[in-house]
């Protein structure tokens, strides 16, 4: 994960004293044990399980590469990957400019901003299940808002047509997460030193020029942080899609996480489901590393000493 | 690392003048941002208003009248139906899971963060913190199948503790990261002088680091509490009996049962969100900084 923080002063080993690390080391043990037991062991376990056959109840049999073969030759995997990346990209492309704009707005000093902010952030508090249930009722072609208002354009089978359903998912994701990212951008904008703008002013740079030459480059690390969270987070849009569309219509919104759940816990094929899980982990790690590389070396140094 | 918590106050005093001038420079963009902000606010408000208004309507009125009109005969029947559907039990389950996860998770993460900062130079601790960092980059949801297996093997399937244990583990990486950034800010001289007075690390942890990092602890606790309160996947796969349901899961099953009774479904949405909205009303700033714990700086 990337950080917008200025480089942290590295801990001085002499001052802390390596000789006294013994007495404190045990304090890390409870957290370490919990994380290893329910984080690291499952991570290794999911790889092992991908080479087995298990229905979720009975005994586990080793099965070699059979799950991998069946998943990799299944066109469903390519489709799930495609839908995952499509939702990832579109929700990123919708959220980023809007969140940035609103972050700049929130960083201002308008008097009405406080009232604005109270309501603006409410979607952050709701569970994905609650949001999905609300939109499901709201968009219902028979009992929803459209028929209630007698608005033809709102009276569509929103969740019954593949492209509409995909659009609804992206809209609801944006509805839920734009406030969060606007908050991140607000923090980023507030950190830009005013002197830079003053210098640019003296040099005769206009507002638009200032935005593209100062604000945008200064927000570089904020953009990377926010994008990383959006991209890696989009891999875990499980509850929202599960409740909203259950992957449908057909498999139009069947993302990887949902594919894993359905194969594992509905079709009782834990082997293939584990293969999907391994792919999910690899995609997540790959994206995180890629975004960190784009972030450049400064980002790396900010992570040091943690 | 400074956080969002104490930023607004320092900023206003230090940068009031320059900020105003800078704002004028940003005016055009801000104008545009303001327009987008207000439009977005409408997009946020409309569904929220609709949820609340509809939850007080009779089912017959919902189908025949303007969905945005205030209820002509406000009724609490929907809320009664929701409460009669055992929502108090689900509420209690969610509370147990949220507290049972957050308190131990923040406690052990705090200890680990303290050890990682105070014991810098130790290979064991460097490895531990590296492991937690790795945990941040991995979508932990991908590990639910082995988690399910472990919970079965521990004979904990279909219990609240089954949800709590993995939730604690999933909360550790981010909590340790944020808390260690705060403990690092505690001046070393304070530790030194306490040590001179004969305090050991355990006493320094509680008497020095704990009071000085309390805002960060609250922030991290809120973030974790909210995440667990709203969690869906772990309760879905690790429990099955109705009396072990947490609120999001109960919402989902209730919606499946009463999908035609939209006002009742929306009343259940309002009821499950109410506790968080109350918290939001009490400590909005703390809650927001909790949401962006460690991200916005």
Contacts A41 to B, Cβ<8 Å? 146, 150
Q: How close is the nearest chain B Cα to the Cα of A86, in Å? A: 18
Give the residue on B whose Cα is nearest the Cα of A98: B36
Show me where the domains of chain A are located: 46-303
Which of B19, B128, B273 is closest, CB to CB, to A125?
A: B273
Give the residue on B whose Cα is nearest the Cα of A95: B40
**Are the beta carbons of B273 and A162 closer than 8 angstroms?**
no
Round to whole Å and give the CA distance between A43 and B135: 10
- Structure-block tokens of residue A187: 């923090």
| Band of pLDDT at residue A252, cut at 50, 70 and 90 | confident
- Pick among A39, A96, A98, A239 to test the B interface (most B CBs inside 10 A): A39
| Band of pLDDT at residue B261, cut at 50, 70 and 90 | confident
Asked if B47 and A288 come within 8 Å (Cβ–Cβ), the reply is no
Judge residue B20's burial from the number of C-beta atoms within 10 Å of its C-beta, 0-12 exposed, 13-18 middle, 19 or more buried.
Answer: exposed
Tell me the pTM. 0.83
Instruction: Quick: pLDDT tens for B1-10.
Output: 333 333 444 4
* Domains contained in chain B, CATH given: 7-64 (no CATH), 77-291 (1.10.3720.10)
Contacts A220 to B, Cβ<8 Å? none
DSSP string, A207-238: HHHHIIIIIHHHTHHHHHHHHHHHHHHHTT--
A45 CA to centre of own chain: 24
In 3D space, the residue among A263, A136, A233 whose CA is nearest the CA of residue B51 turns out to be A136
**In chain A, which among 7-66 make CB contacts under 8 A with chain B?**
8, 11-13, 15-18, 20-28, 30-32, 34-43, 45-46, 49, 56
**Are the beta carbons of A130 and A138 closer than 8 angstroms?**
no
The ipTM assigned to this model is: 0.83
Number of A–B residue contacts, CB under 8 Å? 371
Contacts B172 to A, Cβ<8 Å? 31, 34-35, 39
Mean predicted confidence (pLDDT) in B207-218: 86
In a 3-state reduction of DSSP, which class is residue A155? Answer: coil
Residue B137 has a pLDDT of: 79
Instruction: Quick: pLDDT tens for A79-107.
Output: 999 999 999 999 999 999 999 888 887 77
Asked if A49 and B149 come within 8 Å (Cβ–Cβ), the reply is yes
Instruction: Quick: pLDDT tens for B264-296.
Output: 889 999 988 888 888 887 777 777 776 665 554
Mean predicted confidence (pLDDT) in A122-137: 90
Contacts A195 to B, Cβ<8 Å? 18
A196 CA to centre of own chain: 32
Asked if B145 and A5 come within 8 Å (Cβ–Cβ), the reply is no
Instruction: Quick: pLDDT tens for A2-32.
Output: 333 433 444 444 444 444 445 788 888 999 9
Low-confidence winner among A102-111, A227-236, A253-262, B95-104 (lowest mean pLDDT): A102-111
Residue A109 has a pLDDT of: 64
Q: Which CATH architecture has domain A46-303?
A: Orthogonal Bundle (1.10)
Round to whole Å and give the CA distance between B175 and B180: 8
Contacts A186 to B, Cβ<8 Å? 296
């Amino acid at each position: 994960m990337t950080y917008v923080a200025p480089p942290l002063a590295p801990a001085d080993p002499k001052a802390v004293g390596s000789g006294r690390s013994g007495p404190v080391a045990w304090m890390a043990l409870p957290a370490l044990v919990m994380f290893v037991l329910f984080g690291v062991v499952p991570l290794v376990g999911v790889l092992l399980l991908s080479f087995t056959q298990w229905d979720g109840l009975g005994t586990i049999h080793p099965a070699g590469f059979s799950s991998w073969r069946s998943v990799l030759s299944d066109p469903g995997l390519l489709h799930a990957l495609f839908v995952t990346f499509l939702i990832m990209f579109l929700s990123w492309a919708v959220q980023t400019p809007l969140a940035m704009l609103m972050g700049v707005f929130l960083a201002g000093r308008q008097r009405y901003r406080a009232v604005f902010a109270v309501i603006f952030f409410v979607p952050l508090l709701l569970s994905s299940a609650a949001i999905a249930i609300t939109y499901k009722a709201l968009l219902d072609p028979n009992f929803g808002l459209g028929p209630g208002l007698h608005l033809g354009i709102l009276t569509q089978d929103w969740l019954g047509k593949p492209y509409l359903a995909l659009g609804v998912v992206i809209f609801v994701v944006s509805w839920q997460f734009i406030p969060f990212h606007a908050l991140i951008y607000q923090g980023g904008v507030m950190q830009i030193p005013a002197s830079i703008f003053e210098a640019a002013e003296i040099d005769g740079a206009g507002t638009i020029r200032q935005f593209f030459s100062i604000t945008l480059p200064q927000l570089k690390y904020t953009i990377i942080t926010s994008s990383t969270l959006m991209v890696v987070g989009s891999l875990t849009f499980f509850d929202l899609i599960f409740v909203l569309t259950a992957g449908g219509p057909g498999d139009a919104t069947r993302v990887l996480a949902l594919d894993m759940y359905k194969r594992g816990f509905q079709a009782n094929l834990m082997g293939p489901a584990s293969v999907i899980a391994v792919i999910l982990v690899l995609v997540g790690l790959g994206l995180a590393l890629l975004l960190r590389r784009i972030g450049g070396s400064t980002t790396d140094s900010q992570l040091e000493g943690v | 690392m400074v956080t969002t918590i104490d930023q607004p106050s320092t900023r206003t005093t230090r940068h009031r003048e320059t900020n105003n001038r800078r704002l004028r420079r940003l005016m055009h963009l801000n104008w545009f941002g303001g327009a987008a902000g207000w439009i977005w606010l409408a997009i946020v408000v409309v569904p929220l208003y609709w949820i609340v208004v509809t939850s007080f309507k009779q089912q017959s009125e919902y189908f025949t009248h303007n969905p945005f009109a205030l209820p002509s005969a406000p009724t609490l029947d929907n809320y009664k139906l929701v409460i009669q559907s055992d929502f108090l039990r689900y509420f209690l389950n969610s509370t147990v899971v949220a507290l049972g996860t957050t308190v131990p998770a923040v406690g052990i993460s705090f200890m680990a963060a303290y050890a990682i900062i105070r014991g810098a130079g130790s290979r064991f601790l460097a490895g531990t913190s590296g492991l937690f960092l790795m945990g941040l980059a991995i979508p932990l949801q991908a590990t639910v199948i082995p988690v399910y297996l472990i919970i079965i093997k521990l004979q904990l399937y279909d219990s609240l503790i089954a949800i709590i244990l993995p939730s604690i583990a999933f909360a550790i990486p981010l909590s340790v990261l944020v808390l260690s950034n705060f403990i690092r800010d505690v001046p070393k001289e304070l530790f030194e002088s306490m040590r001179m007075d004969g305090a050991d690390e355990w006493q320094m942890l509680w008497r020095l680091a704990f009071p000085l990092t309390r805002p960060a602890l609250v922030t991290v606790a809120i973030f974790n509490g909210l995440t667990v309160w709203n969690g869906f996947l772990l309760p879905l796969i690790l429990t099955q009996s109705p009396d072990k349901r947490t609120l999001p899961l109960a919402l989902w099953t209730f919606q499946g049962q009463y999908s035609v009774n939209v006002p009742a479904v929306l009343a259940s949405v309002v009821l499950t969100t109410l506790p968080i909205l109350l918290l939001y009303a009490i400590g909005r700033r703390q809650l927001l900084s909790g949401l962006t714990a460690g991200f916005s700086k």
